[in-house]
Structure 1
Amino acid sequence: MPIDLTLDESSRQQLLSDGTSGPLVRRSILPGGVRLLTETDRSVRSASIGLWLPVGSRDEKPQHAGSTHALEHLLFKGTLRRSALDIATAFDEIGGESNAVTAKEHTVYHGRVRSADLPLAVDVLTDMLTSSALAEESLETEREVILEELAMALDDPTDCGYEEFLAAVLGADTALGRPVGGTVETVSALSAADVRAHYAEHYRPQNLVVTAVGDLDHDELARMLEERLAAGGWDLDPAALPSPRRPEGSLAGVAGSAPTQVPAQLLERTLEQTHIYLGGPSISATSEDRHAMNVLMAILGGGMSSRLFQHIREERGLVYSVYSFSSAYRDAGLFGLYAACRPSRTEQVVELLGAEVEDMRDHGVTDEEMRRALGQITGGLALGLEDTSSRMGRLGSQELVQGRYASVDETVARIAAVTPQQVQELAARLAASFTARVDVGPAV
């Protein structure tokens, strides 16, 4: 059974897996309320580490939209001890990798190095986190970089279509529905004071989660983290507890309709194809139906053998690219269908997209489809966990989002336990939940 990752005083040390049937997995709450989760794997000679903050674009004030993403950029621009070049050089000269990701509900700064170089990675990443200069001149330079990043996304019909689709499903006027990177207007208006205020509010030890996987020792890593965070000026109160996780929940009371009845929102572009996004609200990341959703998505549009690919591309030749997708957050989720086709075929393709969900609702799925989906999901999970970075990310997601630790074997067992009836029942819910359609392409 999955192990609860509790936040109380009694769980400052948890053995999540004792290493007898897989890697040794441990969890500690360090002074300051910092959470550390490690998976020790002596079969590799590398280590991946991630420093996670449960703060994303949804945590911004509307007038400061884009500040989380801007802050992520600025942490690479220099600290009190290191210049931007020093930070870049530190990883390059040891053949390591470092990067960061800002999402709607979290930000993560991560690195992958030889296990012997883990102390250097800890030193650099904690220095960035605790002692960033956040200089005004750096913001002015990085603002232009971010504006170029936004412009690049606007030039990509799949990027701008997906952002518009998210806003249509989650609400353009909600924190969750806003673009992660902000807009040209909000980024242009950001001040250094805005970014510093965002940093002061959220970058605290109680919020920090550190996950690491590879050839490492949990206790030694804990010692390094305490030393470097304290050196950076963070107050590491021995009695402090982690901040609570986000409340769970789901989008409720949203009236959906049949897919062909959803009015299209057109983003007019001079293109040879129309890019179609069609879908609506769905289950949250903590829903008990999340494994059934994985199976449903695999059968519906998760690969070359999926229904969408076979029936719309292979049998009819109407598209080149077609698939289904889902995204989930602590209190909300969405599902979608995507296809790109010549503009004259748009309505036909939309009808076929919706028909596949309705057919799954009416007739269910076959045992053969269930078998293929299980193989696809579990095989992809196994291949994705071959490198330490993927496993590090999995630990971070379980701590921040799920609040429960489950081994790969336990996860596979949960997926294998999904029944055709569960998939059909979920398909019926999705078929009645279509609320948004975004087309990107020429007006016809």
Structure 2
Amino acid sequence: MADAALRLRTLAEQLLGAPLPVRVRAWDGSEAGPPVSRHRPSTEALRAAPADSSAPTLVVRNRRALRRILFKPGELGLARAWVAGDLDVDGDLYQALDLMAGLIWERGEDAVRPSLRDPDTRAAVRELLALAGPLLLPPAPPAEEVGRRSGPLHTKIRDRQAISHHYDVGNDFYELVLGPSMVYSCAYWDSPDATLEDAQRDKLELICRKLELTPGQRLLDVGCGWGSLAVHAAREHGVQVVGVTLSQEQAAYARKRIADEGLTDRIEIRVQDYRDVRDGPYDAISSVGMAEHVGSVRYLEYAHDLYALLKPGGRLLNHQIARRPVQDESGYSVDAFIDAYVFPDGELAPVGRTVSLLEDAGFEVRDVEAIREHYALTLRAWVARLEGAWTRALDLVSPGRARVWRLYMAASALAFERNRIGVNQVLAVRTPESGTSGMPLRARDWR
């Protein structure tokens, strides 16, 4: 079978009802599709004239990739094939993802699940089944995929398991990707030419300024990660910090880091659920990249808990990824690939819903800063670090795990750039009955 690539491309276009914007290379060495050149055209140029432009190549390494896609049409089947190494991209990964995303984002997920009522569609599926091989058994999902989950969402036990899946994969691996700052959230960039370390330091300082931290205050850092914000706040602003995380590996790393900095008298790191924190009131609370794990069923409870832990006049800085609103749905969404391989049980909501729930809990929302372009820059920096140390990454984690991180970070960078998702810092106050918020009257001075 020396024409597998042409057959694959033809069948894919027939099933999708649209041109395939990437070149295809099959397991038999055959290729079909737009030509490849050494220069890198813009995504817009490729979309405008895919037949005459260079394009990245989708490499179908074996027939097993087809079986994965046939049994899970859409994003999850493609993701399984990618994680297992059955699919790869030769060329610019960002370009390939951007072009392929148009088939789903712009035309809808149903576009990759064509109706079998159409005779031509049934004929195409039969031919694809034949191309996939005679033993059409569903391959086991890659080992990196989250196993079957049961029970109610966002119980303490289930949340602990979800956090462990994502964060307890080795501190050395995260250090390779994140760099010395060990900050796993959106940086704050002066310009695209700034360094990742400077941008992350500026983000930590921005949070501290928004919270208006002063020496002697108590800060609760919910989802404290590897202790970066806790160390910065204690060292630069003289506050006492309690950081809580559900990750044992994060806590161990943070405690060592704090000891090395000589800050053990100012910072306490706990392996503790935010719902079990009982030693308020705190002067300020930070929640950075944690609220995405809370879920719709618990979000109002989360907001009430943080409100109760703040003293009157205290501030909350809630830094959270958001998605664009969609009509006629509950306001939350779950991505199949992210849920299966990256953030189990994570949910994204529009920023308006987040603000409303914080207000429902009693907070006065005083400032919302959208910084989605900053996250695109951050993710591209992380991807560059991972790709630049790929051999070392494979020494630290499985090839499948490394492929998961590369795919999800590159795809997320494009999602932020294309305004499919965003990230916002919401500053809220537990305003006392007197109405004195403590906020400045004029322009903010934290920028």
Of Structure 1 and Structure 2, the greater strand share is in: 1
Is TM-score (shorter-chain normalized) higher than 0.5? no
TM-score, normalised to structure 2's length? 0.27
Higher relative contact order (CA 8 A, sep 6+): 1
